[in-house]
Amino acid sequence: MTIYLDNASTTRPDDRVIDLVAAAERDAYGNDSSVHAMGVEAGKRTEKARLQVAAALNASPGEIVFNSGGTEGNNAALLGALAGRAGKPHIVISGMEHSSVANPVLRLEKSGMAVTVVDPGASGLVDPAAVQRALRPETALVSVMHANNETGVLQPIAELGALCRKAGVLFHSDACQSFTKTPLDLKKCAVDLLTVNSHKLHGPKGVGALYIRKGVSIAPLMEGGGHEDGMRPGTRNSPAIAGFGLAVTLCTPELAAKTAALRDFFMEELRKALPKARLNCADAPRLCGILSITMPGGTGAAALVRAMSAKGICLSAGSACSAGSNEPSRALKAIGLSDKEALRTIRVSLGRFNTKEELSLAAKELAAYAA
Amino acid sequence: MQHETLDLSGVPCPANSARALLRLETLDPGAELEITVDDGEPALNLPPSLEREGHAVIALRREGAHWVIVARKSQ
């Protein structure tokens, strides 16, 4: 028996996606940059996916650059936007950004750029007024994720985008966790650069996209052929891109609502058995599938994850990207948790295939271990 | 009769062919699609791509730096 509750790390691909990817690998193996029949056959799959991803964001197909996923998208956005900037530009990020945002920014800081980190505080929400106060005349870019990968808190990116637009500052958002799980209309939301990926939404791994608003110019990370309008050279993984496109279309508001209901059911079940389990950022708007729970005193998250794993229950202590490290999570510290609390905090993340029965069982097992 | 337009100016080969074929998939048999592509390779590559999938190229005209290709969807 496996109860998979680590969907914020990655998801099980939908069978329909697996079938489409396998068929494309078999029947449309041409290079989608080749102009012959097999190239066009592969190109149809790539371009269909581009239309599907663009439609989900209310963007234009020409604004979508396919790449290898979230880490590449975030690096490309930040390093590309700041490349060749004259003077000493200033960057503003939140204190709970994923490493694929925080570490490129660290590199930029080492190269002489100034960085301001805005912490969200206990609510888990970045305050637009705090970002406004952080802006300087030389600020070149603000980056705040759409939904945090550990707490699930949805950030006010429409407000942040609007204030950046007014100040003439580029605004980037990492939407890897939120894409397709909450509405995002880029015609109405002033985001200039947006990172999305496939494997968090039951699509294949190793594929994602960077949205680059028309008129925004950034430098490519790599030099090579002219793929993706010169923004991302290298032969595209057309079958995986096709799977990404299909996976996007399979995500519906109904599925998100069902996941949110299961999330709340799990938390109620856990609280019934373990009243001292504390849901972090409980009052903030949160993504449908993520719960950050600080367990009662004495329950170390790492040991709990091992114990649950022995019972077939997969969840994580903090985020997978920092799993294996004994350091308390940066995101959890940014919302005000002490080191001890952060090390007692687990993340339960739901996906399309979870059932009420398995959530009920997982809550009982967790409570029994922690009691 | 259904008649639609698709502006693929600036879209390189073979993505332009791919997008034209995808749009034709959404139309009724016999419908016409007026496609604008760049001069050069796009104008040379698109007609054979359309014909290879059974669509008819019924008109081809130059408009400045672009070509307008009218395709009729296969029955």
* CA–CA gap between residue A169 and residue A51 (Å, rounded): 28
The C-alpha torsion from A134 through A214 and A200 to A290, rounded to 10°, is 40
Residue A182 · residue A256 · CB < 8 Å: yes
* CA–CA gap between residue A130 and residue A159 (Å, rounded): 12
Type and span of the H or E element at A73? helix A70-82
Which of A284, A296, A286, A276 shows the shortest CA–CA distance to A350?
A286
* CA–CA gap between residue A321 and residue A98 (Å, rounded): 8
Print pLDDT tens along chain A (371 aa).
899 999 999 999 999 999 999 999 999 999 999 999 999 999 999 999 999 999 999 999 999 999 999 999 999 999 999 998 877 899 999 999 999 999 999 999 999 999 999 999 899 999 999 999 999 999 999 999 999 999 999 999 999 999 999 999 999 999 999 999 999 999 999 999 999 999 999 999 999 999 999 999 999 999 999 899 999 999 999 999 999 999 999 999 999 999 999 999 999 999 999 999 999 999 999 999 999 999 998 889 999 999 999 999 999 996 555 555 667 888 999 999 999 999 999 999 999 999 999 999 999 999 999 98
Residue numbers of the domain that contains B45: 3-72
Number of domains in chain B: 1
* CA–CA gap between residue A13 and residue B31 (Å, rounded): 37
Question: What's A147's DSSP letter?
Answer: B
**What is each CA distance from B15 to A76, B20, B50, in whole angstroms?**
23, 9, 13
Q: How far is CA B70 from the centre of its chain?
A: 6
Q: How many CA atoms lie within 13 A of A327 on its CB side?
A: 9
Low-confidence ranges of chain B (pLDDT < 50): none
Of A43, A61, A226, the CB nearest to B14: A43
Report yes or no: A39 at the B interface, CB cutoff 8 Å: yes
* pLDDT of amino acid A106: 97
Nearest CA in chain A to B15: A43
B32-71 residues touching A, CB cutoff 8 A: 41, 45, 49, 52
Q: How many CA atoms lie within 13 A of A364 on its CB side?
A: 8
Of B11, B14, B41, the CB nearest to A40: B14
* pLDDT of amino acid A54: 98
Q: Kindly indicate whether the domain formed by A15-250 is annotated with CATH number 3.40.640.10.
A: yes
Please judge whether A35 and B14 are an interchain contact, meaning their C-beta atoms are less than 8 angstroms apart.
Answer: yes
* CA–CA gap between residue A77 and residue A219 (Å, rounded): 9
Locate B2 and state its tokens. Answer: 């259904």
* pLDDT of amino acid A236: 97
CATH number of domain containing B31: 3.30.110.40
CB atoms closer than 10 angstroms to residue A12: 15
- The residue whose two tokens read 């002219």 is A226
* CA–CA gap between residue A81 and residue A67 (Å, rounded): 16
Orientation angle between helical segments A37-57 and A15-27, nearest 10 degrees: 150
Interface test with B, best of A40, A45, A48 (most B CBs within 10 A): A40
**What is each CA distance from B37 to A48, A130, A177, A233, in whole angstroms?**
18, 47, 37, 23
User: pLDDT (tens digit, 9 = 90+) per residue, A307-347?
Assistant: 999 999 999 996 555 555 667 888 999 999 999 999 999 99
- Taking one residue from A and the other from B, the number of pairs with CB-CB distance under 8 angstroms is 41
Instruction: Please give the radius of gyration of chain A, using alpha carbons only, rounded to the nearest integer.
Output: 21
Q: Kindly indicate whether the domain formed by A3-12+253-370 is annotated with CATH number 3.90.1150.10.
A: yes
Catalytic residue among A176, A281, A288, A321: A321
Residue A321 is a catalytic residue: yes
Domain layout of chain A by residue ranges: 3-12+253-370, 15-250
ipTM: 0.89
- The residue whose two tokens read 């329909």 is A16
